[in-house]
Structure 1
């Protein structure tokens, strides 16, 4: 039986995806960067996603997508560098690495989290339905580029997910820029849509927009 593909713009699609995630299964989701594989933030679901898609050698932090209203300090220890970048680039294609809180809800493969608020409003209802946070890995097996359409997800990963949400072709088709805010000063660990000069300029600006 083929994996169902539902349009993300339909409320029924969000409800179906939320139910599947609550049951501990995986759902492919669109963002403005690339497609991802989502799991609910709980132990069994996270272990399933991490086992299939998580490469600790190339991605040394648990990847989390947040709804816009979720504070940066949720599940992580924030700092001035991360707050400054958040003010200028969220929602958007920027991921920040931060230390996880000591009492994280389940065991982590590393003591760090990678957090991003996607600039993709159709996804926000699903995030909110799961408490504002999803664990989301790239929709690709190790060594392959991430999928940028629902069709690419179906071709590569249909056996790995219970549902695919279709949002059309990803706007950028490139990964987010990843900045390590655990170190001081921060450093870029993955180049992406936001350029290094833009990151450096934001870090030198006031922490709050005028």
Structure 2
């Protein structure tokens, strides 16, 4: 599959360059500090509360990581002038978008894997519900997938990586703040805005160790719609 070949090439690019390791190191370091200061720190807490705090802070860092990873996916091709080469190759636009997205998702999954030691530290002085850990990490991966797809769309729109990061951040913040609009509007608009909220409506169940089908479906739909939009942007630029 051509998308997998693109994904392998793109992922190798992340792992061969210093920028990928810098992103991993910085976000892991800050996430670790927050885990130590807020999740583990303070008054004695139950293991479930520590895990919930870990997933709460990690969700924010996962979104930030998704923005940093996605900003180079397509914008870098335009910035360096290599996008026409992709257009000239016998590869469909959807394969380009899907391949780059899969590479970013694999890199994001690597970041999440490297954070696994944090919830396991709870085993030193307490008990860990592995079901809670699995549900939380599934939520982080789904949240990261949706954020990365939105970032891919932002990267397709932008001419350089800085603009891609700004576009992605604005769209993600808008989705996150939908819950505020839900509080100040009346039905049925309040229900619509509430359902669109990227974090407040759909992530807390994962944070608590629960998996709801509606939340899984929401993140998958956001991922699909954002990737579909990114593909349409590439198709529109191909024929300019």
Normalised TM-score (structure 2): 0.26
Which of 1 and 2 has higher RCO (CA within 8 Å, sep 6+)?
1
Normalised TM-score (structure 1): 0.28
- Which structure has greater helix proportion? 2
